[in-house]
Chains A and B, each alone.
Chain A
């Protein structure tokens, strides 16, 4: 009886044990499916290995993958493409998401339907959406070219996926279309939590719509928008299927991001050591960028 009470989780001093116990399965699972592959990947990045095999003798330690990576024009190009994509898509997703959230936050007839349409792209599976867009932007038989030519906006067919700038623009457009509803939903939730009193008081003080937006809405939304932007940025950083299905990273590596480069070297060229190095560098960049953004959010609010 004495020993039972000694280890009883009901005792106030033992309550944290219960917390650890309940967390343990999740922590173990995460360690198994995230941390372990990450450590394997880190280990592989320091080996000159083609196709590795579980249980295989470890190859000698080498930094050759990182040396090659940092000396490679392909890597810096992928970094530049990723950076451009992250900045453009995150910025436009946030802008469009915020605008649509502000729109559907107003009371008007058909608001529920409008909210449904705003959120719709988020609900469509990514690959299906991409295939639809691939057909819309098809260079020979696509709807977009037909519209542009029919409306007299272009006198010739645009080779959307054979032109580096056009291909990049299409990738951005699809990512923005797929990503803005997330910002919109999050911003809408944030907007609904702003007390109406703030706006009443501002109106009494003579603040116009623009001033209310800049001095009340945006500052109050910053905690939500900050986290949302980090999540969107990380999504753009790691997204693979949109780019892979649309362009495969081409033409001329114009849409080759770090995630596409990782995949290509791993499963296209079977250079797992080199691909792991690209993956590790991508992870480090992601962590740094997230920390910078989250830190900035904290400063803005508090």
Chain B
């Protein structure tokens, strides 16, 4: 009888233990990862591979990968951080992480880099991740602009690929036309986003500004807008837009699509244009080629960063760091080149496979190096925190110059004083 009770007790205890331990064994830890790049061809596939590798090497840990559109990204991330619920893996654009770092929301990665002996020597754009003497992020892409052109459109006008601004302007003027005689321009020499956010507008302008040897600030962060060089840069921008050498009021995505559809002769853009070109109709695809930009230096700079929230549990930080280590490993940096058809920031990445798969890869590397050696970045030094406000102001003053046909000299003076006021805030 006693034995029977013992058996019953043992069975009950075992059942209870199973009931308690069962769910615990099945329980998985989840890391949230929010990104705007989830469905992007190439780079989205690469993130997918990094996640797969992380989950493979960390049994019981899952990554919840959520897409948030770029247009709503800053709002979403701000709300998540402000509500004390940031994603564990923080993915931000390189022009917006400063606000988060300034609030003390990003972990100082210095000790983590040191502990894991992560070699970031020669890592493109990594210096941009330093905020108040702390490394708050890892740069995930530093690029240089390239020029895509429609060979057929240029050939029809007897034009060769332009090598400088004068040739580019002449080619743009010659290829902007009404091709079907309905008095409406339907083919454009070039294409820029002239509607939308200030950041993209500034990048579009920067092509002409940099070639005129101007920049918004110097290396010390001093505003350098009211200069003869900047006046020349503004004049060039005014010429391109005012003469309708670019379609007006389109977003960056729409302009890229027009180029892919064969409606634009020359498009200056980042490496992400290539995957879109691949999607062009076969009859157009064969006419779309790539070359170095006819401007010196090319626009380039940092794109996006990986970071870690400062206020999460230490064991979670360990996991996030592991994720960063996988993303920054030589293996995955090499894979980035192949999958994203883009230049990885790591100097140790093996890009031989990418060179075989992507015919223009050398061009991307050359553009990246040209931008990096000239110290180009889309975010001006000294204006990192109020960048959005600065970009919006420059966009509005440039629009005013075009709409009201203002003298670029006066516009440069106005932008200079307004930029100084923004910087002093």
Contact = CB atoms under 8 A, between A and B. Distances in A.
Interface of A: 50-55, 138-141, 145-146, 149-150, 155, 157, 159-164, 248, 250-253, 264, 267-270
A210 to B, nearest CB: 44
Nearest to A268: B388
B396 A250 contact: yes
A252 B403 contact: yes
19 contacts: A51-B81, A51-B82, A51-B99, A55-B84, A138-B250, A140-B247, A146-B182, A146-B184, A155-B183, A159-B249, A162-B399, A163-B403, A164-B403, A250-B396, A252-B396, A252-B400, A269-B386, A269-B388, A269-B392
A68 to B, nearest CB: 10
Nearest to A263: B75
Task: From A52, A138, A140, name the one whose CB has the most chain B CB atoms within 10 angstroms.
Answer: A140
A139 B251 CA distance: 12
Contacts of A139: 247-249
B23 interface: no
Contact of A270 (B99, B182, B184, B247): B99
B124 interface: no
Contacts of A159: 248-249
B359 interface: no
B402 interface: yes
Contacts of B188: 140
A250 B99 contact: no
Given A141-B186, A252-B396, A53 B84 contact: yes
The 9 lowest CB-CB distance pairs between A and B, nearest first, are A140-B247, A161-B249, A139-B248, A267-B75, A139-B249, A269-B389, A251-B399, A53-B82, A159-B248
Given A146-B184, A150-B182, A248-B196, A51 B78 contact: yes
Interface string B75-93: 1001001111000000000
Given A139-B247, A139-B249, A251-B403, A145 B396 contact: no
B287 interface: no
A277 B276 CA distance: 43
B74 interface: yes
B37 to A, nearest CB: 20
A162 B402 contact: yes
Given A140-B185, A267-B74, A269-B392, 4 more contacts: A140-B248, A162-B249, A250-B396, A252-B403
A71 B249 CA distance: 32
Nearest to A155: B183
Interface of B: 74-75, 78, 81-84, 99, 102-103, 182-186, 188, 194-197, 244, 247-250, 386, 388-389, 392, 396, 399-400, 402-403
Contacts of A267: 74-75, 78
Nearest to B99: A270
A53 B102 CA distance: 13
B78 A250 contact: no
Task: From B75, B182, B247, B248, name the one whose CB has the most chain A CB atoms within 10 angstroms.
Answer: B248
Contacts of A252: 396, 399-400, 403
A162 B196 contact: no
A41 B247 CA distance: 41
A143 to B, nearest CB: 11
Contacts of A250: 195, 396, 399
B90 to A, nearest CB: 14
A139 B250 CA distance: 8
A149 B244 CA distance: 17
A196 to B, nearest CB: 52
A149 B184 contact: yes
Contacts of B183: 149, 155
Task: From A50, A55, A162, name the one whose CB has the most chain B CB atoms within 10 angstroms.
Answer: A162
Nearest to A52: B82
A160 B244 CA distance: 14
A54 B82 contact: yes
A51 B103 contact: yes
Contacts of A163: 403
A138 B83 CA distance: 39
Contacts of B75: 267
A261 to B, nearest CB: 12
Task: From A55, A157, A160, name the one whose CB has the most chain B CB atoms within 10 angstroms.
Answer: A157
A283 to B, nearest CB: 20
Task: From A162, A253, A268, A270, name the one whose CB has the most chain B CB atoms within 10 angstroms.
Answer: A270
B388 to A, nearest CB: 5
Contacts of A51: 78, 81-82, 99, 103
A50 B403 contact: no
A141 B386 CA distance: 35
B332 to A, nearest CB: 32
B182 A149 contact: yes
Contacts of B392: 264, 268-269
Contacts of A50: 99, 102-103
A164 B396 CA distance: 12
A51 B80 CA distance: 11
Contact of A145 (B78, B81, B184, B403): B184
B52 to A, nearest CB: 33
A168 to B, nearest CB: 13
A33 to B, nearest CB: 14
Contacts of B99: 50-51, 270
Contacts of A55: 84
B81 A162 contact: no
Contact of A157 (B185, B195, B388): B185
